[in-house]
Structure 1
Amino acid sequence: MSKLDGNGRWESKMALTEHVEQYEKRNQPKNLNRPTTEELAMIRDFILLPLMLTMVQKAADDIKNSPNILRRHFLFSTQILMNRIEKDMYLLRKELTRRNIKVMTEEQVDVVVYHKIICRGYEERFGMVRDVVRSEISVRLTKYLNEMSKLLESYGK
């Protein structure tokens, strides 16, 4: 609050519309192009999904080399899971492109992986701790597996 506010002298003064617009434009928040909470969640998923795909691919490679008698069925399940992850990655990439958001891997410092985010001209650095990445992948993987088990249950009925 300035010294002029509340003294009554400026309440009766008129301002031109152009001046009011200039004043409001000058005092608008500068970060209108920052990613929203929803977009940050999309960016997080965009970072996590390729890591999940790599983990599932590694598990599939391990299953291929195992002598397990259910190997074929496990491979089939992992392929379905990989297809689902790739589909989500495609949809996410398409939506981020539509919203003019770019995500680039920047660097890895100790236990934090940093990414550079360019969102409609606004640049930001986004970091994720490895432990958080692991737990998020675990939660996401559980979600995918629950969806697959529901499909299998509905198929068996």
Structure 2
Amino acid sequence: MTKLEGNGRWGGKMLLTEHQEKYDQRDRTVLGKPSADELRLIRDSILLPHLMTMLQRSIDEVSRSQITMHNVMARFMRAVLDRANLESFNTKRELKKRNIKILSDRTQDDIVYNRYVCRGYEDTFGMTREVMRAEIGKNLAKAVDSILNPSQE
């Protein structure tokens, strides 16, 4: 036992009131279902890798083809792929900031299920292939529009 342990001065924390409140809330995790915005982030993080794969395959296909303007088309698709890649990076960063993890996926009866953990709350997120195709089409159209009309962002 040292001299400082027995005198009682070092037993409590010397914090301001607002710091004490933050310290008390530090260990509390907010359990609960993700918000609609967080579900959108989860959906986007699932769909964007599929979109990037489709774009890469299309780039490879156009590059090998004998189309007259294949170089121009491939460059444009690369620009769209770069936009999708940037959006995917930002989505993953936002998920990490909100403490949301996407764990695994499985397919059953044409529905793709993804497990996720949102601040301790675990659930599955399912989409049919048709819905995935439609959402990927929307994402692709949004990326193309952002390249063609950069002033409207």
Report which structure shows greater RCO (CA 8 Å, sep ≥6). Answer: 2
Q: Name the CA distance, whole Å, in 2 between partners of 1:74 and 1:45.
A: 25
Q: CA deviation at 1:106?
A: 2.7
Q: CA deviation at 1:105?
A: 2.4
- 2:132 maps to 133
Return the TM-score normalized by structure 2. 0.76
Q: Name the CA distance, whole Å, in 2 between partners of 1:104 and 1:52.
A: 19
Q: Name the CA distance, whole Å, in 2 between partners of 1:39 and 1:149.
A: 28
Q: Name the CA distance, whole Å, in 1 between partners of 2:52 and 2:67.
A: 22
For structure 1, the 5+ residue unaligned runs are 1-30
Number of residue pairs aligned between Structure 1 and Structure 2: 122
- Report runs of 4+ in structure 1 exceeding 4 Å deviation: none
Note the alpha carbon deviations across 1:72-100, whole angstroms, 9 max, x for none: 11111111111111111111101100110
Q: Name the CA distance, whole Å, in 2 between partners of 1:139 and 1:106.
A: 22
- Is the 8 Å Cα contact of residues 31 and 120 (structure 2) preserved in structure 1? no
Instruction: Calculate the aligned-residue CA RMSD, in Å.
Output: 1.4
For structure 2, the 5+ residue unaligned runs are 1-29
Q: Once the two structures are aligned, what percentage of the paired residues are identical?
A: 34
- 1:149 maps to 148
Equivalent position SS for 1:128: strand
Matched AA of 1:36? S
- 1:119 maps to 118
